[in-house]
Structure 1
Amino acid sequence: GQQPDPNTGRTPLQLFMDGRAQAAYDRQVYELWSDITSGGQIGSQIVRDARIRARLTGQKIEKLLTPADYTKIGRWVAQQLKGREVWVVLMPSAAYTNSRKASYHFVKGLEHNPNWPLVFYNNKQKIFVNARTPQGKKLFNGISNGKTLYPDDFSKNLTLAHNLFLFAGNDKTKRKQALDFAIKAFESNRSQAPIREIIYVAGRFP
């Protein structure tokens, strides 16, 4: 558990917004969080334009949104989070597995921001951290040096697979390592998340 500051009583990790239905917030705070998790005006415009093109062409919206689009969304989101001293974001799988949800594009934006790497991934959630903060940097670096601990090999291998491919670029060795980690994750837990990673990695293998 967290140890509160003896002088202020505050715990090191403070909650900015709890997205659970039973959590109650001031309307303005809720609207602020809703705006951030939709990518703001930038994200809304990008997604709206893509939806129009999707209807006109019959293509899926996922095929029309580019890495450059998500980079713009991720940059805006990072600015909003930094301005509110938010350094860690936990998103449930329901928020990023359905492209019809605004939060799907919020998560994709974070994934395209190198300053907000993924540090935990399983079938139920993803956790991102701001690697430019001391706390976030410690957790992210801990993935490679073994200091960041995982509850099981499944989440560890899945996280490694995702990050390796994301930052591999054209490095075939790293892409192969990413695929190997995704397969290991699937072997330990035959579920949807590792399958998505395997398809994603294998589909882009040269």
Structure 2
Amino acid sequence: MTMFGESGAGPRVSSHLTGAVGTFLFVMLCGIVGPIFLACYFLLDLPDTEWMLWTGLGVTLLDVLIGAGLAWMRYRGGIRSDRLRATGVRGIAEVTSIGQTGVEINNQPLMTLGLRIGGGGLVPFEVNTRKVVPIFQQPLLYTRRLAVIVDPDTQEFEIDWEATASVVGQGSSAGFSAGDTRTVADRLSSLDDLHRSGALTEDEYRRARDRIVDEL
């Protein structure tokens, strides 16, 4: 099994905290009408404004709960992602089903996915899950093969969109690598990890490597 070393944990945790705080502040900004009602109630001498107090309290409390929940989910997700990348095994997920939930998180759609995960010495397993799929990454779903990082003990996993873009290449559909900002060396390293783990065949590895090298 191919394992991944952990480095720079401190800066990543700090980054996750910053992102979580940013998410909380964004939610509070979107619900600013609550604090506005409270300010009007306490600062302005207006008749019949008791409704502003209770409405302001209710909206503000709801914003705090939603903001705290989303911030915690973002922070926990970041820590989980770091753990998987530090100790996980590379594999390939075959997409068996794709569906829409009609829900968006941070303006990105939450989708239902059926996946069959294997490769890299993993015991194959199937899972139905909900994942936030960035809009510019959605074409990758229809290649039906995604690079994943898996905890073989718990079967927790995450989709590695950047590695998937490297494997699929731009020849199949325009824009697949739009979100891959890694260096060529990093992309080749991901391919090597997938190849060593057995998740990629020799032919898949060679074609993907040739595509990346051709970009130099």
TM over 0.5: no
Structure having the higher Rg: 2
TM-score by length of structure 2 reads: 0.27
> Which one has more relative contact order, counting CA pairs under 8 Å at least 6 apart?
2
TM-score by length of structure 1 reads: 0.28
